[in-house]
Chains A and B, each alone.
Chain A
Amino acid sequence: MAAVPELLLDPAIKIWVLLPISIVMVLVGILRNNVTTLFLSPKRTVPNVRLLKEQQHLGLLRTYRRNHHVFISQSDFDEKFDLFKKEYEFDNLMRHYVADPEKLQKLKENPNDFNTVMSDLSSGDMMMQMLKGNLANYIPQTVIMYWVNFFYKNYIVMKLPFNLTNNFKSMLQSSMNMIDLDASYVSAISWYFVNLMGLSSIYALVLNDNEMVTQITQQTTQQQQPAPPTAGGPTVDQLFNSELEGFKITDIKSCFTTIHDRVLEKYQ
């Protein structure tokens, strides 16, 4: 088969096609990120009161286990355990989540449904958040892709300075149906995809902010948003039960056992 003669690319293509696509993509990326930042909730550290309550009570149980030495005798510690056991009974804990007594009874019969309850509570808003996130990513990309396709369809914008095998044709020559064309020629739409995936170093150079670069890269590569923490993992009831189990088996070592001798030794 005769070799395909090398194509002569108009140098104006670089200025009027290659550069505009790259510049537009960089600018749209930065613009989208700034728009997103405008909508971003301020990073407050105020936790929800219900979660705070859980954290505080779990923390208190852990503190009791850690500082068991402040009790004089095991019976004092065990008295406290009995109090906690009563306080953190299933009903007492769950009524913060489920107000309806019937639902509470059902939940009591099958505690594993707790996760379903929590995910039901959060699913509506979660869907909305995902929808908004996806719209923010898809709309600009679709618009740019349409723009590239409309103006520069079937354009060869550049030739790579090295040879590639034919397997790269599908990647570098999207939308071009030329079997004999060498794989090192890049079409406009492929240049768009290459930019989409590989602009992070340009963003790093322009923005000089690693956090923002990661954010833009994640947006463009369409990563899945993580699920809310409430939709999985152990239930509140399980967490408290596990802490109480630990509490139950704690053998206290009172700091008062030898305190008479210690004080006499220290100050006499």
Chain B
Amino acid sequence: METHSADVAIIGAGGAGLRAAIALAQSAPSLRIALISKVYPMRSHTCAAEGGAAGVIKPDDSLEHHFNDTVGGGDWLSDQDAVDYFIREAPTELLQLEHWGCPWSREADGSVAVRPFGGMKKQRTWFAADKSGFHILHTLFQTSLQFPSIQRFDEFYATDLLVEDGRCVGLTAIEMRSGQMRWFDARAVIIAGGGAGRMFPFTTNGAIKTGDGMALAYRAGVPLKDMEFVQYHPTGLPSTGTLLTEACRGEGGVLLNKNGRRFLQDYGMGPETPLGKPVLKTMELGPRDRVSQAFWHEQRKGNAIATRWGDAMLLDMRHLGEKTINERLPLVRDMSISYMGVDPVTDPVPVRPVVHYMMGGIHTDINAATSLPGLYAAGECACVSINGANRLGSNSLTELLVFGRRAAVSALEYLQQGGRPAGGAALAEAAQARVRELVQRTGGTESVAGLRKEMMQAMEEHAGIYRSGEGLAAACAKLGELRQRYRRIELHDKTNVYNTDLLQALELGSMLDCAEAVVQSAAARKESRGAHQRLDFPGRDDRQFLRHSLAAYAGEGPPRVSYRDVVITRSPPGVRDYSGGHE
């Protein structure tokens, strides 16, 4: 097997992976950095983020405000020491991107502009029109090209982490172009593999978001934390699930039911604010979990509008005018016209909640370290946790930068502490044999597309905005069954070069692992908090569940779920108030 030796191997070349790679290259030019990704870096899903990145910069804002917004937004499930670290580092990281040439939108005086975002008390979201993630990704990617020590392995799919003597000592990956397995002999590994929204049929997530990074760590013995918290973004296009950024509402767009009523006022986010004059942290600038839940209730009351693609509400931006829409929301306008046939300048756009982001992920500490020595994780695949039970919009792009860099610093410290046991060859051989068996298997009775569809149906039906014990039990049984049946899939394509049948089979394996962790953790959490809402346990239960769930891989059986205390430093659990100061 062809072998590549590296000091640090990074899996995933989106925002977090690139930020980590650059930090490593800058701190020690002699380091050998392997940047491994199943797609070319600029295809990473960071490019699809629209609204912006949060960081305190303006004189009327303070770190304390950002702290309180994030902790309250997360329904007190965030670790407060991690949030403190995050908000302190945020402005530095965003300025660093500016110094690397990111085309942030500007004020007339040339300073960086900020915009309002949901759940944030002050305007602190840096943005580049409505393509903020795209510009962050391309700025990082292009900046990374000046560092010869970053060796890229584009279109390499990581299959296994190699763990020897209790340490992570590398990984194996398939080179898509040849179909050959490669062994990466690495002293430390950083996973920056993104989220897993593709477990669900209706999602803003691109095809590549299949939870591969999470599954790699999980199978290597690192638990997945808080996986039951899945974020629904309130405003996706009903036809395709395409995201219309929260900035639509930040700029002044409003949500209407079929009667033309701004219904959020009926769900603890009122009273109504003047049209076109958005007020921070209330009404349309409430947090995503609350807004998505309000839609669910409106739907039950029969107040949704019917579209060919199911029930929807209306996002009305007409009063913003063509000039503002073109300047601030050009992508939104383009996509609404292209994929829905509706021009937001002249008509309200039908939207509905759509699976968007995983608050949960690989259990890491505040230093981006996992419980496995030599293994680090950052970005959506990781759970530090700063996002708690509900992430605030525009915190995740900043998180990529802050914890991408932090993972690099931690990996570097680990390397400086000394060596590691040699080896990994036998493990790499075993990983290769496992994939070879999957490719060559005959007599299988299951198909990738068939199992994927059943998984998506179970997730949509039972793990959505509102959940019940009964439904989750059915989902747990279903995912257990699919785990068994997955062993009997047979590929149609048994060739080597760019075999996407194989790729999709491996991705399905990742998603099934993540999905089982989601439903098992959701079944065990008998309370409602943030994005996890139980019809049978409608209240928050701080006595029992002010704790992170940890789902640990158990091979043949379902994951074992245990708990870990939340770090509370100075903000005791309180009431989430989005009434604009009226309650």
Q: Do A and B come from one complex?
A: no
User: Which residue numbers of B lie inside 8 Å of A, CB to CB?
Assistant: none
User: Which residue numbers of A lie inside 8 Å of B, CB to CB?
Assistant: none
